[in-house]
Chain A
Amino acid sequence: MTAPASAQPSAPVMRLLRRLYGLATSRESVSVLVSVLLTLVVGGVLVVINGDNPFVVYRSLFVHAFGSMQNLTNTLAAATPLIFTGLAVGISFRAGVWNIGAEGQLYLGAMGGAIVGVYLTNLWAPMHIALSLAVAMVCGGLWAWIMGFLKTKWNVDEVVTTMMGNYIAIHFTSYLANYPLKPPKAPIGSTDYVQESAQLPQFVPYSTLNAGFVIAIATAVVYWIFYRYTTTGYQMRTVGYNRLFARYAGMPSGRMILWAMFGSGALAGLAGCVEVLGVQYRFVQDMSPNYGFDGILVALLAMNSGPGIVLVAILFGALRSGGLGVERMTNVPSELSIVLTSVLILLVSSRYALVKLFRKERGTRA
């Protein structure tokens, strides 16, 4: 008889990888631990290539992230934009759509907020800040809304449109920062400094931690309340879980998706605006080190939960600012933190995928 059709030849490397992987995904808590360990190993290899001792470097990383009040505030400052973008992406994921365009929406929000901050004068500070934030949210929100409209009306894939939208927004804001809005003596594309009335107050000297962090936490609280207690939040989430069910039950699924995209873009815009008003005090081109894309990873790791996003954002912030500190003390490049983050995501998201598969095989009995 013929041989079973399912046999596949695997190289020994594949088998080893499979075994390693199987180990990493056998049981929930163990697998998270193993994922973290594997990540540290990969990072450790990189550290060795640089000629340093991994244990020393990791200890230094931890210290620079949490070791002192100063370091802690740096970590929280680094986490602030990630909280916003994580929540932004979380809104879209919960509605069942993929907003990959947080980066571009961030820039639009930053520019909108910067314009309000620079050109409006003689305003009472809280009013000025509030107006700036509001305009930022509208800028980011509208941009995302357009992609949502294309999706609900003609089923244009939102992954592609939001992705392309990123670069349109980035180039457009760079244009503004290099031509119409550029102050004469600025070396690179940027706007003027915002008025003092628009600047977010700082908490601690020598640190960039500012009121933006408070706004971020407040946003996370609103996010949590919205999904847990409001009817619209319930409808939005139901659309994300099962759009057919939502339609069947009479929910306006298209409208929910549009609102979700708007909200998602709005929060990404907030991220940019807070960065402008609280850290840079002006719009600068290329000011975002991939905050928008990191937000995707944050939301994913935190499974879109509000408190989870805050925690994961702080974790990422810790890695980032810790990495910067490590680079100052040793000469290990700070990009180590980017590598650690992305490897961790790869390993952990595979685990999630396998757990989902596993549950489906056990079967929802029906």
Chain B
Amino acid sequence: MLETLFNLHTLEAAFRIATPLLLAALGGSLTHKAGIFNIGLEGMMLIGAFSAVSFSYATNSWVVGLLGGLLFGLLTGLLFGLFTIDFRTDVIIIGTALNLLALGATTYLLRAIFQVRAGLSSPRIDAIPDVHIPFLEHLGFLKVLSGQSVLTYGGWILIVLLHVVIFRTPFGMHLRAAGEHPEVLAAAGISLRRVRYAAAAGCGALCGLSGAHLALGYLNQFVINITGGQGFIALAAVLFGQGNPVSVFLVTLLFGLADGISSNLQVLGVSGYFSLMVPYILTIVMLTIFAIRSGRKKSAIRA
């Protein structure tokens, strides 16, 4: 029975499913470290997906599509930053409104521009290719590492890149200070505003990439609400992994596995819905554990 659940196919699927989660969660890590509670990952991904499909459709090139997704994701991130940093709107409101706006706008534009009802799929849309690494395919179970999408490998590279940026560069130090103790930045003469804008833009760009992958690397089409809540799973991963790229990666892998198992579970007669709930339940449990631990550390003023 375990073989049905956990086989190489599951693992391969897990990597594939985890990719958009990973990309969005890496983006979310940037804003998390900067001290911005961004619940609008879903909206940013959706906008990225739609832009990527539109550009790919228009130019029949997945590269342009990818860049389009990245660009519009970045712009959305800047918009988010504008409202939350300069206009000081409550960050939950912005996140919620942004998600709804993204859903409404992408659905509207899908119907208005492309004149289709529910989804756009066409041979003109160029998909993100998979990459096959020949020597890996002869290495037993390591062959799951070959044949993944360009963006999957890109995601893995980004893990390392983001880890280095956050923990080994001056910008990363400023970013983490912005989230932990913003006054230190002011005392050092560094603009908190600029750091946070950079985080918001970076987050938007990565979420845009994530959406691009959903649309161009996964289904090769755009359907209404293509993200379907994955932005919130990504958020769960950010919180669970506390914004650290490596931890976040492991968590998205875990979530990807859970999702991958869900269809196998159905073969065994258990509903796949239960493994879909896993990311959310795990996150609540972990956050509760974190809270209990940090509560014990602080001295209590009961208020």
Direct contact of A and B (CB under 8 A): yes
A interface, CB within 8 angstroms of B: 5, 8, 17-18, 21, 46, 49-51, 98, 100, 150, 154-157, 159-161, 163-168, 171-172, 174-175, 178-179, 243-244, 247, 290, 293-294, 296-297, 300, 332-333, 335-339, 341-343, 345-346, 349-350, 353-354, 357
CB distance from A24 to the nearest CB of B (A): 10
Residues of A within 8 A of B98 (CB): 342, 346
Residues of A within 8 A of B276 (CB): 167, 171
Contact B87 A154 (CB under 8 A): no
One digit per residue, 1 when the CB lies within 8 angstroms of any chain A CB and 0 when it does not, for chain B 262-303 equals: 000000000101101100110110011001100100000011
Contact A165 B108 (CB under 8 A): no
One digit per residue, 1 when the CB lies within 8 angstroms of any chain A CB and 0 when it does not, for chain B 185-216 equals: 00001010110000000000000000000000
State A365–B273 Cα separation when bound (angstroms): 56
CB-nearest residue of chain A to B43: A342
CB distance from B271 to the nearest CB of A (A): 5
Interface flag for B89 (CB, 8 Å): yes
Contact A339 B229 (CB under 8 A): no
Interface flag for B133 (CB, 8 Å): no
Contact B105 A339 (CB under 8 A): yes
Knowing A49-B113, A342-B101, A349-B89 are in contact, say whether A293-B271 is a contact too (CB < 8 A): no
Contact B83 A350 (CB under 8 A): yes
Contact B96 A335 (CB under 8 A): no
CB distance from A20 to the nearest CB of B (A): 12
Partner of B100, one of A155, A165, A341: A341
Interface flag for B239 (CB, 8 Å): yes
Residues of B within 8 A of A166 (CB): 232
Partner of B107, one of A172, A178, A333, A349: A333
- Beyond the given pairs A349-B97, A350-B88, 16 more chain A to chain B contacts, judged by CB atoms under 8 angstroms and listed by A's residue number, are A8-B193, A46-B105, A150-B291, A155-B295, A156-B288, A159-B92, A160-B239, A178-B271, A296-B96, A333-B112, A341-B100, A342-B97, A342-B101, A342-B104, A353-B87, A357-B88
CB distance from A172 to the nearest CB of B (A): 7
Residues of B within 8 A of A332 (CB): 112
Residues of A within 8 A of B100 (CB): 290, 293-294, 297, 338, 341-342
Knowing A49-B113, A349-B89 are in contact, say whether A161-B287 is a contact too (CB < 8 A): yes
CB distance from B199 to the nearest CB of A (A): 17
State A223–B80 Cα separation when bound (angstroms): 34
Contact B92 A335 (CB under 8 A): no
Contact B90 A338 (CB under 8 A): no
Knowing A161-B284, A339-B101 are in contact, say whether A354-B108 is a contact too (CB < 8 A): no
Contact B277 A172 (CB under 8 A): yes
State A98–B96 Cα separation when bound (angstroms): 12
State A346–B76 Cα separation when bound (angstroms): 14
Contact A46 B87 (CB under 8 A): no
Contact B112 A163 (CB under 8 A): no
User: Most A CB atoms within 10 A — which of B109, B191, B273?
Assistant: B273
Contact A155 B274 (CB under 8 A): no
Contact B113 A346 (CB under 8 A): no
Report 16 cross-chain contacts, Cβ distance below 8 Å, ordered by A residue.
Answer: A8-B191, A21-B87, A50-B112, A100-B92, A150-B291, A154-B292, A171-B277, A172-B273, A297-B96, A297-B97, A335-B105, A336-B108, A338-B100, A338-B104, A338-B107, A339-B101
Interface flag for B17 (CB, 8 Å): no
Contact A335 B107 (CB under 8 A): yes
Contact B283 A160 (CB under 8 A): yes
Interface flag for B163 (CB, 8 Å): no
State A332–B90 Cα separation when bound (angstroms): 32
Contact B112 A338 (CB under 8 A): no
